[in-house]
Amino acid sequence: ETGVTQTPRHLVMGMTNKKSLKCEQHLGHNAMYWYKQSAKKPLELMFVYNFKEQTENNSVPSRFSPECPNSSHLFLHLHTLQPEDSALYLCASSQDRGTALTYEQYFGPGTRLTVT
């Protein structure tokens, strides 16, 4: 256990559905991240939140909408996805401020998303 949980672990959705992925970190970290991992492609950073403020959006299509209501929770809202969006979506957190900074990121187990 890394202290980062993700739900659901598996999700199958049609292209017209709306669903949300949830991430929670129990580490007291200040930053949270969404990554996409597709087969045979490098890990892609999607969004970065620092103290609940979005600080990075790597040209992600608007059908992916992140939400960070507090520094422990991160959501990824999905709507009208395409089959090529099928992938493993990973959440991570880190502490990169203050006296407890660690630099490394801790990852959740991921949500395996299949778009039909």
* Rounded CA separation 78/66 (Å): 9
Report, in Å, the least distance between residue 103 CB and another protein: 6
Report, in Å, the least distance between residue 106 CB and another protein: 7
* Rounded CA separation 67/79 (Å): 14
Residue 7 · residue 108 · CB < 8 Å: no
Interacting residues with another protein (CB under 8 A): 2, 4, 6, 31, 33, 41-43, 45, 48, 50, 53, 55-56, 88, 90, 92, 94, 96, 103-110, 112
Residue nearer to another protein on the CB measure, 79 or 109:
109
Report, in Å, the least distance between residue 48 CB and another protein: 5
The CA-CA-CA angle for residues 6, 9, 13, to 5°, reads: 115
* Rounded CA separation 23/17 (Å): 20
Residue nearer to another protein on the CB measure, 15 or 104:
104
